[in-house]
Chains A and B, each alone.
Chain A
Amino acid sequence: MMKHSLRRLVVSGITASALTMGVITVAPTLATSAGAASSSVVTWAEAPQSPPNYIFPFMGLQFFSVSNINQFQFLMYRPLYWFGNGTSPNLNPSLSLASNPTYSNNNTTVVVKLKNYKWSNGESVTAQDIMFWMNMLHADKENWADYSSGALPDNLKSVTVDSPTQVTFTLTSSTNPYWFTYNELSQITPMPVAWDIAATGAAPGSGGCSAAAYATADAKCDAVYNFLSKQAGYDPADPEGTNNSLSTYATNPIWQVVDGPWKLTKFDSSGNITMVPNKTYSGPVKPTISQFKEVPFTTDSAEFNALVSGSIDVGYLPAQNITSPTSDPLNPSENNSRLSGNYNIYASPSWAVNYFPYNFNSNANSGNAGPIINQLYFRQAMQTLVDQPLYIKKISKGYGIPTYGPVPVAPKNSFASSYEKSNPYPYNPGKAKSLLSSHGWKVVPNGTSTCQNPGTGSNQCGKGIAKGAKLAFNLEYASGSTSLTQLMNAEKSSWAQAGINITLNSASFNTVLGNAVPCSSTESACSWTLENWGGGWIFAPDYYPTGEAIFQTNAGSNSGDYSNTTNDNNIQKTISTNQSLTQYENYLAKQLPVVWQPNSVAVVEVKKSLKNVAPFDPLQQLTPERWRF
C-alpha cells in the first residue's frame, strides 16, 4: 500500500514503488505511452488510479499528495530545502537550493543563503522568489494545505530580503531550530518572477507579489494566487469545479519556467506524463536519460502485467503478486519468479504513518455520526477491532509495519516511543463489545448496534447521540489496489462483530482525497464519515513528525477536523522547545484521532539494466536525474 501525505501518501498495501499509489478494477489498461522502454527512456509506473492532477506548488488539501508533489512537481520546481538523504528523511544539503539556515538571537532570527541556481528562462533563483512564496503564504495561508495555526506565517514578525541571495526571517518568539528547518522552511518552494502575473500575457512581476515587502501586498498576491490556480485548473471561487486545464500543463508557458532537472513535454488527464531534461538545470546531479515517462494504471494487476511484459523500468510489486512473504519488512524475500529475470526487488519503507480520518463534524446518520465519532470509547472500540499484525501477515505478505500512533516507526529513529510501539489497543472483539455495551449501546453482532441509553453519564451513549442512533457509517476508500480492498473488507467484517455496520464504497484516489476535507456540520457536503485514500501521511514537508499539520486544531491537513486542547498544547511544546515527542505521541496513541492502519512497505521492482535507482528515500520522491543505464 502506498501513501499520501506531504502529503497524503497514496494507497497503502500496494507495496508500491517509489511512489504512491492508490484500487477499482477496470480492465487492465496500461497507458498507451507505456511502450517498450528504449535505452534512454525510463518508464515509471504510477500507482493505480492516482495520476498527478495538479501542477501549481501552492495548493490546498485536495491536491496535497505524494503523486502531485514528490513525484511530479518536485521534478520541475525544487523546494528550498531538499529532504531525503539515502534511506533517511534527513535534510540533504547538497540537493537544497540554499545552504543550511543559521539561527541566532535566541532562535528568533533565521538567515537563509541561496546557492547559485537558475531558472530555465535564464534568471537566477533569488531571495525575491522566496519572498514571492512568503507573500503568497501570508495572503492565502488558508489555501495552503500545510498551514497550521500559530505556525508559518503566524509565527513571523518579518521577512526581509537582505540581498539577492539572502533572506532573513524574524520570528515572534524563540523556536525549536530543528522544527523550524524541518517543518517550516521545508514548506517553501521559490517561485519565478515569471509567475508573478494576474493575467495571461502580463509582464513578469506585474502581479506585484514578488517584489513587495513582506505582508504588504495581500490583495495583489491573492489575485496572483487566483490566476495561477485557475491556470492549474482550480478555481478558488468554484472549488468543486472540474479541472479543465490538465491538457495545457505541457504547453502553458507559465509551467515551462523551471529550476528543477526536468521539463514537462506531455501531460494528459489520464496521467500519461513525459518529461525531458532541463538543459539549463544548475543543480549537482544532471539527467543522463533522454526522457522520463510516468504511466498510469487503473489497477495494480494491470501494472503487474506491464512488469511481466517488461514495458516499464521502475514499478511496484502488488501484494497479491508477492510469492515469497518476508519475515522482515525492510529486507525483501525472493522476487516473483516471473520478474526475477528482468528486475531487482527492493523494499522501501516510508517516513509515514498510515491511517484514515474520522469526520468529527459529520452530519450523517441523522446527525448522530459526528457525536458518536467524538466519543473516545467508540474510537477505542473501532481501533480494538483492527488486527494490524494479521493484515500485515496475510494481506501485505509481511511487507508492513503497524501504526499505533502519530510517529513513524520506520525507518528506525529516536522519535517513536516504546508506548506507541506497544500497541495500546490490541485486537480484542470482546473488549470492543464491552466498550459499547458499557456505554448504553445494544450490541448486535453482525447487525447494527443502537443507542439504548442516551445521555452524558459514564454509562451512557454520550453528548448529542439520540436514543435509537445506529452505529452505521459509510467508508469510502481508494479503488485500484487489491490489497486495500481486502483490508477494507476484513476490517468491515471485524467491525461487524461489535455491530458497527460499515458500508464500503470505492472511488478513485483523487476523489477520495477531494472528499476527505474538513467541513462544518452545517454544510451539506459534510456527510462523509470515513475516507481512506490508502496511505495515511508521509511526513513531508513536516519532516519532523510533530503532527501540527494533521492533528492540530484547524490545521490545513487535519481532514476530520480533530480538535483537542491537550493535544494542541503537547504539539506546541514540541515546536517551541526541544521537548521530545513522547508526550504528544503517547497522548494521540491513546486518543485515536484517526483509525490507525498497517503501514505497507513499498516493494519496488527496478530493471536490472537501470542503475543508481536504489536506495530509495523514505519520502517516495522521484529523482530520475540520478538514474543511469
Chain B
Amino acid sequence: MSMDPFERLPLPEPESSDAEALAPEGGNAVSDGGFLRNMFHVFTENKLAVISAVFLIFIVVFCFIGPDLYVTNQTNTQDALLNSTQNSPPSSAHWLGTDESGFDVLGRLMYGGQISLIVGFFAALVATVIGIAYGALSGFFGGWFDAALMRFVDIGLSIPVLFLLIALVTIYRPTATMLIVVIAAVSWLVPARLIRAETLTLRTREYVQAVRVMGGTRKRIIGRHIVPNSVGTIVVFATFDVADSILLLAALGFLGLGVPAPQTDWGTMLSNGVNFASNGYWWEIYPVGLCIVLVVVALNYIGDALRDSLEVRLQRR
C-alpha cells in the first residue's frame, strides 16, 4: 500500500494538563488584529518614538500652517530693511527677534523649515526609489550584472559625499528641486546596497522558488515578492535618510550653497546666524540649531521604533 507522504497523521489530543508544557517557546501565536496593529503596538511601546512622532507632526504644522497664523514678511528684503530693526532681540513684536536683514526669525524658521522638510522628504523618497530598483535588479540577476552594478556603487561610495555635493551644487544653480535631485543623487547608493543584500537572501526563499516553478515572470517576482518583503528595510532606511537629507541640506546651506535668498533653509539660517555669533545674537543661532537637532533626533527615534515594529520576532506572539 502506498502512503501519501503528505498525509497528515492524526495527532493525539494533548491532555489538558500537558497543554501548558507543550506551548511553544515564547507562547502560542495569537491573532490580535494583524500585522499593522502589532506594528503599531510595538511602535507605541517606544515612548521616545511616540514623543518624536508628535514633535514631528508639530514641526510640520508649525512650518506649513504656522505662516498662516503668524504672518511675517519673509521674501522682501527691501521692506524688511526699511521697516524692521536689524538683529533686534526677542520682543512682543518679534517673538524670536530679527535677523541681519530685519526678517522675523520665528517666521523665518517656519519658512526655512518648509524647504528643509520638503527637500529632506523628497530627496529621501527619490533616493529610496532609485535604490530599491537598482538594488533589487542587481541582487536578483546576480552574476556579472550584479558585479558591474555594485562596483559602480562602490565607486560612488568612495567619493566623499560633501565633496560631490559641493561640486554638483556649484555646477547647477541650487533651487529646491535641484537640491532634491542632487541630494538624492548621492543618497541612493546605500539603499541600493541594502536592498541588493536583501534580494540575495529573498531570491532563494521557497516562495520565490515556487513562483519561478509556476512560471512567474521576473517582473512579478521582483515587484510582488522581493520588494514587498524588503519593506521593513526600506521603511527604516527611508526614515533615516530623511534625517540625513535634512542634515546634508543644512551642511550645504551652512557652506553658502543652499537655496538662494530670499528663500532660506535651516542650514542657511544657521550659517547667517554664525556670522553674528560674536555679537551675542543668540536668537539667530540657537532656535534654528535646535530645530535641526530635534528634527533629526526625532526622525532617528522614529526610525529605530519602525525597525523594531517591522521586526516580526519583536512583535507580540
Contact = CB atoms under 8 A, between A and B. Distances in A.
Contacts of A506: 256
Interface string A23-39: 01111000000000000
Interface stretch (A92-100, A223-231, A411-419, A491-499): A491-499
Contact of A490 (B81, B257, B278): B81
Contacts of B80: 493
A387 B76 CA distance: 14
A479 B279 CA distance: 22
Interface stretch (B178-186, B189-197, B268-276): B268-276
Interface in B29-88: 75-82, 86
A493 B257 contact: no
A342 interface: no
A525 interface: no
A504 B255 contact: no
A321 B261 contact: no
A620 B254 CA distance: 31
Contact of B81 (A320, A323, A390, A496): A390
B247 to A, nearest CB: 15
A320 B256 contact: no
Contacts of A501: none
A115 interface: no
A503 to B, nearest CB: 8
A28 to B, nearest CB: 9
Interface in B253-306: 254-257, 260-262, 271-272, 274-276, 278-279
B261 A504 contact: yes
B255 A321 contact: no
Interface string B239-256: 000000000000000111
A372 interface: no
Interface in A322-341: 323, 338
Interface residues of B, number: 27
A320 B78 contact: no
A485 to B, nearest CB: 7
A304 B86 CA distance: 20
B101 interface: yes
A482 interface: yes
B223 to A, nearest CB: 42
B100 interface: yes
A489 B261 contact: yes
B77 A482 contact: no
Given A26-B255, A489-B101, A308 B278 contact: yes
Contacts of A485: 261
A394 B278 contact: no
A401 B100 CA distance: 21
Given A24-B257, A490-B101, A387 B279 contact: no
Contact of A479 (B86, B256, B262, B275): B256
B101 A486 contact: yes
Contacts of A557: none
Contacts of B272: 482
A308 B278 CA distance: 9
A395 interface: yes
B278 A27 contact: no
A406 B279 CA distance: 37
A627 B255 CA distance: 36
Nearest to B260: A504
Nearest to A394: B81
A485 B275 CA distance: 13
A301 B275 contact: yes
B173 interface: yes
A524 interface: no
Interface in B66-124: 75-82, 86, 100-102
A505 interface: yes
Interface in A288-334: 299, 301, 304-305, 308, 318, 320-321, 323
A394 B86 contact: yes
A489 B255 contact: no
Contacts of A320: 100, 275-276
Given A301-B274, A486-B101, A504-B261, A26 B256 contact: yes
A324 to B, nearest CB: 12
B154 to A, nearest CB: 29
B257 A492 contact: no
A25 B261 CA distance: 13
A24 B173 CA distance: 14
Contacts of A503: 260
Contact of A505 (B256, B260, B276): B260
A321 B279 CA distance: 7
Nearest to A494: B78
A493 B271 contact: no
Contacts of A387: 78, 82
Interface of B: 75-82, 86, 100-102, 173, 254-257, 260-262, 271-272, 274-276, 278-279
Interface of A: 24-27, 299, 301, 304-305, 308, 318, 320-321, 323, 338, 387, 390-391, 394-395, 479, 482, 485-486, 489-494, 496-497, 503-506
13 contacts: A24-B256, A25-B271, A305-B278, A338-B278, A387-B78, A394-B86, A482-B100, A486-B100, A489-B261, A490-B77, A492-B262, A493-B75, A496-B76
Given A299-B275, A320-B275, A485-B261, 9 more contacts: A24-B257, A308-B278, A387-B78, A390-B78, A394-B102, A479-B256, A482-B272, A492-B261, A493-B77
